[in-house]
């Protein structure tokens, strides 16, 4: 396990630590972080996904049983998390954020980085294909958690129709989903990429994951960690351990090919996504709890990822 941790986890988390330190030293600030986030999310990561998927073999990198396993695991896990959140001594906004954070993982930045640097390009293409289904499912559940819940304003009985439409539109225009779908079309139809285009995408892709990891570090905040430690540990047990283990059981039951199990586990074991904070602000959740869960569990995910990678499955 030590070898896996040093060779696969430490390099990834060293960039996260660098992003955190650069922000603490005011070397980078909001004027850099916000446009850099947009550049990574809307340009660099989609370019990387399209390039890797388009150049891969669709038949070799797609497994419907693996897709059904991760979606089934998410559905079962959501029901368990809903039951677990109900008796907790949390306010309604905090309970919504607890539930959302327990299933919505950081696929675009964290899971992709672990898959790419720990498993290689072939497994990364498998991870990208699987992630497109999981992203849609996560967002649908998130809409269910927030769109029909009371907002912060007193007397509000639910999210206005416009807000619901915005959430659906954001999911339908998600650049990660669209880039994977475009890559799948090229891969399935065996449409070759021109050499110049492929090389350009490769160069652009080179900035995607390093920049994403720096931005994860830049967003970390531990100011309220002590206040929310109990709730955060509960989210961690559900998100970092329970969800991937449920997925592992389903993959064994459905006899999923061994080469797809680690990519699926890496996706399911991802720490809470940044969007949990954004949606907690917009949908009447608890932004403080969301920010704390993202920060603490991003660091703890290094240990859980090391365990899953060591076991190999």
Structural domain that includes position 258: 2-311
How many domains does the chain contain in total? 1
- Supply the CATH number for residue 203's domain: 1.20.1530.20
pTM score over 0.85: yes
pLDDT digits (tens, 9 = 90+) for 247-300: 999 999 999 999 999 999 999 999 999 989 988 887 789 999 999 999 999 999
Whether residue 157 has pLDDT greater than 50: no
Whether residue 168 has pLDDT greater than 90: no
pLDDT of residue 144: 85
pLDDT digits (tens, 9 = 90+) for 170-219: 777 889 889 999 999 999 999 999 999 999 999 999 999 999 999 999 99
Whether residue 152 has pLDDT greater than 80: no
Whether residue 163 has pLDDT greater than 90: no
* Mean pLDDT calculated for residue range 123-133: 93
Q: What is the 3-state secondary structure (H, E, C) of the chain?
A: CHHHHHHHHHHHHHHHHHHHHHHHCCCCCHHHHHHHHHHHHHHHHHHHHHHHHHCCCHHHHCCHHHHHHHHHHHHHHHHHHHHHHCCCCCCHHHHHHHHHHCCCECHHHHHHHHHHHHHCHHHHHHHHHHHHHHHHHHHHHHHHHHCCCCCCCCCCCCCCHHHHHHHHHHHHCCHHHHHHHHHHHHHHCCCCCCHHHHHHHHHHHCCHHHHHHHHHHHHCCCCCHHHHHHHHHHHHHHHHHHHHHHHHHHHHHCCCCHHHHHHHHHHHCCCECCHHHHHHHHHCCCHHHHHHHHHHHHHHHHHHHHHHHHHCC
pLDDT of residue 169: 75
Mean pLDDT over the full length of the chain? 90
pLDDT of residue 161: 44
146 — pLDDT class (breaks 50, 70, 90): confident
pLDDT digits (tens, 9 = 90+) for 82-120: 999 888 888 889 999 999 999 999 999 999 999 999 999
């Amino acid at each position: 396990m030590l070898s896996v941790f040093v060779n696969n986890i430490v390099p990834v988390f060293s960039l996260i630590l660098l992003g955190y330190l650069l922000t603490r030293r005011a070397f980078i600030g909001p004027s850099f972080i916000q446009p850099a986030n947009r550049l990574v999310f809307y340009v660099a990561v989609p370019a990387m996904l399209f390039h890797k998927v388009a150049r891969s073999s669709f038949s070799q990198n797609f497994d419907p049983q693996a897709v059904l396993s991760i979606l089934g695991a998410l559905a079962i896990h959501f029901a368990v998390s809903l039951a677990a959140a109900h008796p907790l001594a949390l306010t309604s906004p905090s309970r919504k954020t607890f539930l959302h954070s327990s299933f919505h993982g950081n696929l675009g930045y964290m899971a992709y980085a672990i898959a790419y640097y720990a498993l290689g390009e072939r497994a990364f293409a498998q991870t990208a294909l699987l992630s497109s289904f999981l992203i849609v499912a996560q967002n649908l559940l998130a809409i269910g958690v927030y769109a029909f819940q009371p907002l912060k304003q007193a007397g509000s009985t639910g999210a206005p129709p416009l807000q619901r439409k915005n959430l659906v539109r954001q999911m339908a225009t998600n650049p990660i989903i669209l880039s994977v779908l475009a890559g799948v079309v090229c891969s399935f139809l065996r449409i070759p990429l021109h050499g110049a285009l492929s090389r350009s995408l490769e160069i652009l892709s080179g900035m995607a994951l390093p920049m994403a990891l720096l931005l994860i570090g830049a967003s970390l905040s531990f100011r309220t960690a002590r206040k929310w430690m109990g709730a955060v540990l509960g989210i961690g047990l559900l998100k970092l351990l329970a969800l991937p283990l449920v997925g592992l059981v389903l993959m064994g039951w459905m006899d999923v090919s061994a080469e797809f199990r680690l990519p699926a586990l890496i996706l399911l074991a991802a720490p809470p996504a940044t969007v949990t904070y954004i949606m907690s602000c917009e949908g009447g959740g608890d932004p403080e709890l969301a920010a704390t869960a993202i920060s603490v569990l991003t660091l703890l995910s290094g240990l859980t990822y090391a365990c899953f990678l060591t076991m190999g499955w």
